[in-house]
Amino acid sequence: MALKCVEYLIGCGWPRAVEIDTGYATLSVMEHVMVRGLTLPARLMTLLDQGRWRHPGDAGMARLIPWFESPLDLLANTDQMERESRSLDTFDDEPYSAFLHVAWGSSRETPVELPWLDVEQEFFIAVNRVLGDDVALALDYRTDPADPRGVGSYVSTNLVVYKWRVVTPMFSAFVAASSL
User: Does residue 29 sit in helix, strand or coil?
Assistant: strand
Sequence-distant (6+) residues with CB within 8 A of 154 are 67, 68, 135, 162, 163, 164, 165
Please name which of 166, 135, 114 lies closest in space to residue 69, comparing C-alpha atoms: 135
Per-residue pLDDT reduced to its tens digit, 32-66 = 689 999 999 999 999 999 999 999 999 999 999 99
Q: Are 27 and 14 in contact (CB under 8 A)?
A: no
The overall pTM is greater than 0.75: yes
Total residues belonging to the chain: 180
Q: Tell me, what's the pLDDT at 32? A: 62
Q: Under the phi-then-psi rule, with left for phi > 0, alpha for psi from -120 to 50, and beta for the rest, what region is 100?
A: alpha
Peptide bond before residue 145 is cis, with ω within 30 degrees of 0: no
Question: Residues 77-109: pLDDT tens digits?
Answer: 999 999 999 988 876 667 778 878 889 999 889
Distance from C-alpha of 86 to C-alpha of 32, rounded to nearest angstrom: 20
Q: Among 67-76, 116-125, 153-162, which stretch is predicted with the lowest mean pLDDT?
A: 153-162
**Residue range 1-12: mean pLDDT, rounded:** 45
Q: Is residue 151 predicted with pLDDT exceeding 80?
A: yes
Transcribe 69-88 into DSSP letters.
Answer: -S-EEE--SHHHHHHHHGGG
- Confidence grade of residue 132 (pLDDT, cut at 50, 70, 90): confident
Over residues 167-171, the mean pLDDT reads: 97
What pLDDT is attached to residue 29? 46
> What is the model's pLDDT at position 70?
87
